[in-house]
Structure 1
Amino acid sequence: MGADQAAIFAAVAITWLVAHQAGDYWVQSDHQAAHKGGPGWAGRRACAAHVATYTATQAGALALVAWVLGLALDPLQVAAGLAISAGTHYIADRRTPLRRLAGWAGHGGFYARGTGLASGAAYLDQSWHWVWIGVGALVAAA
């Protein structure tokens, strides 16, 4: 990866991390937040709707940043990076897969500690999102 690609990676990563905060907290509806981890199709639909608005927030933010900074981005690579972010976001926000992964990794106790946004579950959720945003940004910049 050359210096230009490294700069693009940095721009994409920070843009998507900023957009993540907006999409995960400001753009997400109360209904989506309350039901995205719920059982059955209602939970799946709420999570899919959240991930759709979240991903649109990331895409819109990157389009703006790319336009302002004149970034040369490959649309297919950006789409692949967004798909990584969206798919892994859905997995985490369905709750059960992340809880199982935490248990498998020896972090089940931490996952279960606390309540709401002051819980191990919330911290592991956010760190999972950040890791995959970084991977997606790398794919978008490669």
Structure 2
Amino acid sequence: MIINKILNVDDYYFDVFMSISESLTGFSVNELQSTGLAEIYYKHILGQIETATFIEFLNISKNVLENSYSQDQLKNAITAEILSNPATQEIAQSVITLWYMGTWEGAYVNDLSYKEGLVWNVMHAHPPGAKQPGFKSWSVKPVNSNS
């Protein structure tokens, strides 16, 4: 079973949301929580789509997570049962976009969601105008720089 236990939220489905977010984004639950947006995103989604639709997505995700005993098996199950399923595909893609870009249906959830988008970590960059890299950072060559 590949579900992490998170103790700071009482909602049973929050654990499933964080575990499937980990699998969809490739970032650990700890990394996702360190953005400070986990609970905000969960509550935001609950306010944006019908609860029954979100719970169906989470129940399918829970089954995929519980029935996968290796990372390869999990990856294949997510592809087959979530990303290829029209009923869950759009929600999964929206969850990925939410974590990476901080947006839901093209709008930022809040100011922090722009600053903490996972895209900045992937690019080894910082969000312009929001979170500067620090004094003398210009003197350090960028990651993967050939010059």
Scaled by the length of structure 1, the TM-score of the pair is 0.27
Structure showing greater relative contact order (alpha-carbon pairs closer than 8 Å, 6 or more residues apart) = 1
Structure with a larger share of its residues in helix: 1
TM-score, L = length of structure 2: 0.26
